[in-house]
Amino acid sequence: ITVDAFKYGKIPHCTAYFLSHFHSDHYNGLTSKWSNGLIYCSTVTGNLVIQKLKVARNFVRKLPMNDEVSIDSNNDITVTLIDANHCPGSALFLFKLKDKSGRIKRYLHTGDFRACPRQVLHSAIVQPQNPAIDILYLDTTYLNPQYCFPAQEQVVNAVIKLIRKAINRGELIPMKRSSGYNGQWRNKQPRLDKSQLALDKCKILIVIGTYLIGKEKVFFGIAKAFRSRIYVTDEKRKMLMCQEIPGIESLLTNDPHQASVHVVSLMSIKSSSLFAYLESLKPTFKYVMAFRPTGWAYKGQKFSSSSTTEEILNTSTPFTIDSITPTFSTSICQIFGVPYSEHSSFRELAAFVLSLNIRKIIPTVNIGSEKSRENMNYWLDNWQKEKDKNKNIKVVPYNTVDHW
């Protein structure tokens, strides 16, 4: 069995190639010519592999979420897919492998994930009902105390409030950029009556930067709040159609003038491109507010190596409308980085590891340098020892199953 290992071509003795989610750094090497073995993944990821990469159908095995399924004739290998909360179709893989003596070994591979209580509450792994996980392969992208961004929901709500504030004003809100020069501001104060309190009426365009797949909750959330349709390219529409979201088609449009919320590539969120974009959409739009959702956008309080586990778990990360500052701001164009992450924060990694009984943890990200491996192991060892002290392991307390 391998996970996200397509760039090596045929791997000796590998009979099952698993794909955790549809991001290119994970499916790298998978092309229409693939014939090295069966690919196992979620339904959504499978749809994308067939649609986008044109991999032959008979090489793709779409697996259901949450059910334990056997992948060999002897029933010696089973897998259970758990929603990874990363991008649509992303999954954690729980493998159970029976060895020659009949003992079952459990391996949990997180792929890329944003840890949440729902995952550790899954009947296949919840403590204390389940045996220990022998090996956890962990997405350690933000396993560093400086990464303490807020919940996705909080970020989306703050963005909606910021947009509403601009609508109420009838134009963009003058804001200080985090550093450097801002362009000239006009003095005019538009006056709006109530009928004009909508994005299209005040000609404000909302632009969201995304990759091929991911950040859907940001643009669906904004579109819903302001009753706007969503402009996407035909390419992006195809990607979204693979996700089997009910009623999605009436929300999308390929006419940029028919939607106040536009989804574009993250790379086109820069001032030069946005001015040109705005110009091309005259006179439908006069202003543009652009958002780049990314994990590193948060400048909040940080933990240090002296922080106790209790501090880490109990420290919240406040995020409100006032936390949002533009990286670029003129009277017609603003760009905001918002800490909307699809990887676990440092805190969430702590909560995830502390909620499970794990024999051994193998980090899968930031493993290039010795220094970084040492730092990560420091925290992982701390949390593992913490559990040894308390003996009985249980799920770290939470308010909602959606996030710690």
Partner DNA sequence: GCGATCAGAT
Partner DNA sequence: CACATCTGATCGC
Query: Which residues of this chain interact with DNA, rule CB under 7 A?
Result: 23-26, 86, 112, 141, 211-214, 265-267, 269-270, 294-296, 342-343, 365-366
In which element (H, E) is residue 260 found?
A: none
Residue closer to DNA (CB basis): 185 or 296 = 296
CB of 348 to DNA, least distance (A): 15
DSSP string for residues in 343-379: S--HHHHHHHHHHS-EEEEEE-SS-SSHHHHHHHHHH
Backbone angles phi, psi at 332, to 5 degrees: -120, -10
Task: Report helix, strand or coil for 159.
Answer: helix
Residue closer to DNA (CB basis): 296 or 378 = 296
Partners of 332 in beta bridges: none
CB of 33 to DNA, least distance (A): 9
Rounded Cα distance between 282 and 275, Å, is 11
Backbone angles phi, psi at 78, to 5 degrees: -125, 160
CB of 92 to DNA, least distance (A): 14
CB of 392 to DNA, least distance (A): 34
Residue closer to DNA (CB basis): 212 or 245 = 212
Residue closer to DNA (CB basis): 20 or 78 = 20
Task: Report helix, strand or coil for 404.
Answer: coil
CB of 295 to DNA, least distance (A): 6
CB of 349 to DNA, least distance (A): 13
CB of 2 to DNA, least distance (A): 18
Residue closer to DNA (CB basis): 71 or 213 = 213
Residue closer to DNA (CB basis): 267 or 362 = 267
Cβ within 8 Å of residue 114, ≥6 positions away: 84, 85, 86, 152, 341, 342, 343, 344, 348
| Residue whose tokens read 């799920």 | 395
15: tokens are 């009979």
In this structure, how many other beta carbons lie within 10 angstroms of the beta carbon of residue 74?
7
CB of 138 to DNA, least distance (A): 13
87: tokens are 């991008």
Contact 117, 134 (CB under 8 A): no
Residue closer to DNA (CB basis): 26 or 96 = 26
Residue closer to DNA (CB basis): 26 or 203 = 26
Task: Report helix, strand or coil for 266.
Answer: helix
Helices (H), 242-282: 271-280
Rounded Cα distance between 38 and 305, Å, is 44
Residue closer to DNA (CB basis): 294 or 377 = 294
CB of 247 to DNA, least distance (A): 25
| Residue whose tokens read 């989804």 | 263
Cβ within 8 Å of residue 232, ≥6 positions away: 240, 252, 253, 254, 262, 263
Cβ within 8 Å of residue 17, ≥6 positions away: 2, 5, 6, 11, 36, 37, 38, 39, 40
CB of 346 to DNA, least distance (A): 12
Residue closer to DNA (CB basis): 32 or 392 = 32
Contact 60, 32 (CB under 8 A): no
Cβ within 8 Å of residue 396, ≥6 positions away: 117, 120, 313, 351, 354, 355, 404
Rounded Cα distance between 207 and 377, Å, is 40
Residue closer to DNA (CB basis): 294 or 384 = 294
CB of 189 to DNA, least distance (A): 32
